Amino acid sequence: MSAQRVPGLGLGVAAGLVLGAIACLQLPGLPPWWVMGCALAAALAAWAVGRGRWRLVAAFVVGAALCGLHAAHALSLQLPASMERGDVGVRGQIVGLPVHESQRTAFLFRVAGDASMPAPLRGRLLRLSWYDDRREGSDLRRYGLQAGSDWTFTARLRAPRGLRNPGWFDGEKRAMAQRVTAVGYVRSAEPVERLDGASGVDGWRERVATRIDAVVERDSARYVRALAIGDTRALSDLDWEALRATGLTHLIAISGFHVGMVGGFFALVATGLWWCLPWLGRWLPRPQAAAIVALLASTVYAAVAGWELPTVRTVLMIAVVVIARLTRRHLRIADSLAYAAIAVVLVDPMAVLSAGFWLSFAGVAWLVWCLPDARDQSKLRGLLASQWVATIGLLPLTVVLFGQASLAGPIANLVAIPWWSLVVVPLALIGTGLEALHSGAGDWAWRSAAWAFDLSWPLFDWLAASPVSLWWLPEPHGLALPLALLAAFWMLLPRGVPGKWLAALLWLPLLWPDRHLPREGEAELVVLDVGQGLSVLIRTARHAVLYDTGPAIPEAFDAGERVVVPALQALGVRHLDAIIVSHGDADHAGGFGAVQRRFAAPVVFAPQWDRVPGASPCVMGSAWRMDGVTFRFLHPDLHFPAFRNPSSCVLRVETPHGAALLPGDIDALVERLLVRRDASALAADVVIAAHHGSRSSSDPAFVRASGAAVVVMSAGHGSRFGHPHPDVVERWAQAGAAVGTTAGGGATRFRLQAGGLEVVQVRVSRVRLWDAARRAAEREVPPEAAGQAGLSYSPD
């Protein structure tokens, strides 16, 4: 039977929809909703009656307009400015699996939709945390937060707001894609009441996770939970590092393969039942019955796994096949993949923002195109061929989406794919299925899955520990991805195609991008957006120094791990020559452990009174020179007492083209001391304002002595300390400096170079339609501390 396609659908239409959604999300802002609505109606009409290229153009417009309407709706759901930082009593249900940590519990909360709730919150999704009180110790009530349970409590809320850095995860984008209305924390001092126990699919997943922990007496129980029900809460950062280094994350998180396995198993069961009971064929033919049962089983399992995008994609593909079977149509895999993509984009066009969308569809597409006759190959040859295709085909997307390439991945997958797919995963799924039938029935299967997992894990752990297992790559130019995809296409063409070795040249912009390093005698400072804290990268032609490592909250948020390390990797920093910890406060030194674990800087400086591991004291007058750039400490002197903030290391970076001053958290008294000691040493083109722009710093004499052209204040949005203080901002502005904040402009680059000072802020240079700072400025919300707008600097 020849393949039959659905009129008006196909690969071209799927590509048009996807490209339209992507194009919409690249806009700096959205047109009015009525313009997008009219465009959508006109494009749908053209799609229905058009032919050829006009149908593809119509699909593109449909994708763009539909995505724009979804984005506009998602942004309109976010908390209004009038409710920012307010305490609100809410009632509702916990969504998904709460993450319990030693000092907090993080969870999603769906507010009830009745009239007793505030109108902007009815039926909306909140991302909340419940923190322990440091004085009273652990709050045991938060461990009662279970998936599917109903609660009422008071929460302090704010609209979603994220950090913006090179290589840093975009929290604002995720909030828009998930339709999150607000983020905040539970006011545990106010009344808290649990209204109902765990219920629904999420409640059952919670009970299964608890059961697995109880019966699997191995460390690998956390991996069995991930494979059985998609529960990755117990996997630590070190676990994820090992999985990324070996390229096995796609096997641990429940993927389309697992859903397909469940669907295939139940299809076989249905086929066997129909064979044993032939009279069932009079009611429904066996092929159609097997297809329907496979779809139902896959849908249930996707719900159990939390409706992750790869599972949804597989369910849609199975649904397409079922419909084809029921209508007596024969479909190619490529057509079913296209129909699934069309369904995903029509249901949620913002799914194109997720890495899972691209890896899911691209992986299957490469295999379908490159291995159309895989059934005719031996199993070993087919495995090797599919691994080669997946490695080459997905490498461009992996580098662009995650900034990394696993060199050990191909080797690890050759072992993991057959062993885990044929032994570990089936055992984990059998355990889940038996548990659904009767509590405790699946214990033996989960124990067996853990035993089988432990047999293979030492090999992967050894590969992950290899220094060449993971290759971190800088952020590439925008043209690097299409060039690398073209190179992959060229390399995967059939044998006999000439000039394949030339494809290697097209990989260079992606794998060896230009890092835009300073020249001899020049320096670049990158003030990272770490929230309420500080971290500054200083680069010369061949060296890199990090001043401060960002804040950290134990067992919650570590800026060193989550912000600084990814940003350094995205900027192409291969090693740090030195780390300077201005002083020991958590907002400056909290991320030191994570950064040092990754980069192992040979030299560390800190005030002599702060117990930073392996640090030498930063003493006034100490200096060194790198690539024509001088680094000099101006404070503290050898006999300065241990005064915490006032004892901060004050660093001056001097180049032939200008200077930068980093004063840490010194206060006005120390600033006046530095002015009396040597005012000329404070002259600088760039100043990182002391103590985040606190009112107790930026003394007028210090401001005049610096003569700064640009001042940036590293502070969190809506800082509870009031940083930066309006008086300080005004003081610097009146002195002639352009003033900006990391909260308003994101990570900020300063280049002290021959052509003059160059300033670039991430939020200004890479405008996004979901950017919270820009949208707040457009709403004309008064900035709490002059922190909403980006930095405006024009060299003379």
pLDDT tens readout for residues 391-402: 787 888 888 888
What would the mean pLDDT of 786-791 be, rounded to a whole number? 55
pLDDT in tens, 447-502: 999 999 999 999 988 888 887 788 888 888 888 888 988 888 888 877 767 777 78
Measured between alpha carbons, how far is residue 556 from residues 100, 132, 197 in Å?
Answer: 10, 11, 26
Contact in structure between 149 and 204 (CB atoms under 8 Å): no
Contact in structure between 304 and 205 (CB atoms under 8 Å): yes
How far apart CA 78 and CA 171 sit, in angstroms, is 14
Nearest residue to 241 via CA among 559, 598, 526 = 598
Lowest mean pLDDT, pick from 478-482, 696-700, 783-787: 783-787
Q: How are beta strands 552-553 and 557-558 bridged, if at all?
A: antiparallel
pLDDT in tens, 745-754: 999 999 999 9
Q: How are beta strands 125-131 and 180-186 bridged, if at all?
A: parallel
pLDDT in tens, 94-153: 988 899 888 889 999 999 988 899 999 999 999 999 988 777 778 888 888 988 899 999
What would the mean pLDDT of 173-198 be, rounded to a whole number? 89
pLDDT in tens, 639-656: 888 888 999 999 999 999
State the burial class of residue 26 (Cβ atoms within 10 Å of its Cβ: 0-12, 13-18, 19+). exposed
So what's the pLDDT on residue 378?
A: 56
So what's the pLDDT on residue 785?
A: 41
Q: Which two tokens stand for residue 139?
A: 């709050």
Under the banding of pLDDT at 50, 70 and 90, the label for residue 371 is low
**Residue 513 Rama label (left phi>0; alpha psi -120 to 50; beta):** beta
So what's the pLDDT on residue 790?
A: 65
Measured between alpha carbons, how far is residue 545 from residues 338, 466, 574, 630 in Å?
Answer: 49, 26, 12, 12
Radius of gyration of the chain, Cα coordinates, nearest whole angstrom: 29
Rounded to a whole number, what is the largest CA-CA distance in the chain? 100
How far apart CA 440 and CA 365 sit, in angstroms, is 40
Under the banding of pLDDT at 50, 70 and 90, the label for residue 670 is very high
Instruction: Look over the chain and give the mean of its residue pLDDT values, rounded to a whole number.
Output: 86
Under the banding of pLDDT at 50, 70 and 90, the label for residue 787 is very low
How far apart CA 68 and CA 39 sit, in angstroms, is 11
How far apart CA 87 and CA 182 sit, in angstroms, is 12
Under the banding of pLDDT at 50, 70 and 90, the label for residue 794 is low
Q: What number of other Cβ atoms are within 10 A of residue 563's Cβ?
A: 28
Contact in structure between 742 and 535 (CB atoms under 8 Å): no
pLDDT in tens, 320-363: 777 777 776 666 777 777 888 888 888 889 988 887 788 777 77
**Three-class SS state of 428:** helix
Most confident of 49-63, 325-339, 365-379, 560-574: 560-574
So what's the pLDDT on residue 602?
A: 95
Q: What number of other Cβ atoms are within 10 A of residue 419's Cβ?
A: 17
